[in-house]
A = this chain, B = another copy of it.
Amino acid sequence: MTRTCVTAVVACLVAAGLVPLAFADEGMWLFNNPPKEILKTRYGFDATDSWLEHVQKSAVRFNSGGSGSFVSADGLVMTNHHVGLETLQKLSTKDKNYVKEGFLARTRADEAKAVDLELNVLMEIVDVTERVKAEVKPGMSPEEAFKARRAITSIIEKESLDKTGLRSNVISLYQGGRYHLYRFKRYTDVRLVFAPEQQIAFFGGDPDNFEYPRYNLDVCLFRVYEKDQPLKPEHFLKWSKAGAKDGELVFVAGHPGRTERLDTMAELEFLRDTGYPFTMRRLHRREVMLSVWSARSLENARRAKDELFSIQNARKRYDGALAGLLDPVLMDQKREAEKTFRQEIAKREELKEAMKAFDKIAAVQQVRAKHMLEHTALEGGAGFGTILFSIARTLVRAAAERPKVNHERLEEFTESEKASMELRLFSKRPIHDDLEQAKLADSLTWLAELLGYDHPSVKKALAGKSPRARASELIRGTKLKDVELRRSLYDGGTKAIEASDDPLIKLARDVDPESRALRKIFDEQVKELKQQAYDQIAKAKFAIEGTSTYPDATFTLRLAFGVCKGYEEDGRQIPCATTYAGLYDRAAEQKYTPPFDLPQRWLDRKKDLDLAAPFNFVCTNDIIGGNSGSPVVNRDAEVVGLIFDGNIQSLVLDFVFTEVQSRALAVHSRGIVEALRKVCDASHIAQELTGEK
């Protein structure tokens, strides 16, 4: 029922207008361009430089795709259970299943080292726009322009890495309007401290995902180590005693992954008609495949758990986003805004390049549409969707790329990315042959359907066999599960790769030329041309609307502000916070049927809990996927909650901000402590967080 309200929400946007200078509590703001004035004027809050620096350096990026924060002087990092899930899965075995049973380190010695986790902390931002743009000269072909842009980017990154030792990435903001160099501290000794049972972390499962009211203890704690000692971070967030209060101003510091708010109509229509439906079809297929495979045994279900979760999560997210694009109210609104904007541009002779940019972006969509299937299947690797194939490809490409000059390499093989790439490549994560085989058979079947049985790459992929027979042959035949073998192939370079008769290495080699050709098309004909066009549009936006705005999300650190508050839905008032009492009511109402069942100790210890304690709450802050695990802090930069989701109505935030019903969902700080003390036997952790016995 809640889904039908998207229209109502969007209808209200008409009143809100769409100029990017933030109305309401809109914005995923850059830490080097924060909304100081808005905060001052609207909330009387003074976001000082030291406050901003403290929050910035307390925030942590999970390189695997999520956010977190330092929450103790001894390097404790808080994130979501579903962000930690990948690590929990990698540490689990058939006999000790941390996903199902949870995890608790009673002492530091019990903390379990993550297999391949990398955390990043943003230390510094440097504007390098002019230096990048100076290299891309008018009149260059897309190929030349792309090369020039990549080269200067790599050079800046390498210089920075050499100078500071920090992970250095040039980030394209405003879809090419600005370039900022981000310097991160990398941490790779990260140990698991605490996770609850997935049953309570993700209570209500897929059906309740993106819904509210909710009752999820979606929290996971890690500790960062350096030189085998707990890190003493320069900055960490203190714990608020009271936690989030209805009506309170709160901030979210995290890493929103991707939004499409500055997209032109042509691009939105591409996503609506072509891009998202294609993605949905892939997700549907993979969800069915993994569900069916999981249902065959409990051990299968355990092995596929995190992947099935992320597929279902993505499916629900795209479903909501697509519903937004299919809503004429939203689209008419965006269309009207673009029209107005173009009329403004037309008035100014100096912005005439921006006028052309709209047509260029429309033309780019044709290129995308034409090559999308092949690009996703081959260069995207979806036609070979397994861990082992991605290892094979990385090895094949590393051999070809590493001998090249740094700035001529593919992005992921440059010096600034090397450490992260090697961490993933040599990860000792568990790889299950049976699951790999099932996934590969399904991917190869999909590949044949998608590109046609007689497509040259399909022929190479199948090698005259049925998808199932071929998948069996490849997975049984490969030795790439052996990390030492990977190392020797990596160290042996081209010679070793060429000499290898590993069937997956051979396959990765065979399909590489066509994959690279597709990447070249996308790099030059899509990415580069879009950058150029959006650069013009960004210039026009700055000229017309000023520079006090925020760019689309880029999985880099952003600050969002907002207020804890409920909303109205179908005539009912949804309160700001839920309680533990609500959790037990919901479970009873669903007769404890999975995914509404509760772990036994949660049933046994109900009597110990303060049932009136707040559990989850909502706020108006502007977040999106990637923000999962972000801390919610108050004016004093104290933790009052932990972002873990958005509601159904927030799924249109990809394209447009609204705060009528759209809400960020968070676990309440008091709810976390209540659970740690009364159910999870983790009073020592509660004490580390709060400083209280």
Contact = CB atoms under 8 A, between A and B. Distances in A.
A232 to B, nearest CB: 45
A445 B326 contact: yes
A343 to B, nearest CB: 24
Q: Which of A207, A467, A590, A591 has the most CB of B within 10 A?
A: A207
Contacts of A466: 6-7, 323, 326-329
B452 A273 contact: yes
Contacts of A465: 7, 328
Interface string A29-54: 00000000000000000000000000
A164 interface: no
Interface string A454-482: 00000000001111110010000000000
A6 B467 CA distance: 11
Nearest to A8: B469
A582 interface: no
Interface stretch (A245-253, A284-292, A498-506): A284-292
B295 A207 contact: yes
A123 to B, nearest CB: 42
Q: Which of A6, A292, A329 has the most CB of B within 10 A?
A: A292
Contact of A207 (B3, B272, B296, B329): B296
A241 interface: no
A469 B288 contact: no
Contacts of A3: 441, 468
A292 B1 CA distance: 13
Interface residues on A, range: 35 or more
A340 interface: no
Contacts of A441: 3
Interface string A289-301: 0011001111000
B295 A327 contact: no
Nearest to A444: B326
Contacts of A288: 284, 287-288, 315
A327 B4 CA distance: 44
23 contacts: A1-B434, A3-B441, A7-B466, A207-B296, A273-B452, A277-B449, A280-B285, A281-B281, A284-B285, A288-B288, A291-B291, A292-B316, A298-B593, A322-B445, A323-B466, A326-B445, A326-B448, A326-B466, A326-B467, A327-B466, A327-B469, A328-B464, A328-B465
Closest 8 CB pairs between A and B? A277-B449, A327-B466, A284-B284, A207-B295, A207-B296, A7-B469, A284-B288, A284-B285
Interface of A: 1, 3-4, 6-7, 205-207, 269, 272-273, 277, 280-281, 284-285, 287-288, 291-292, 295-298, 315-316, 322-323, 326-329, 434, 441, 445, 448-449, 452-453, 464-469, 472, 590-591, 593, 595
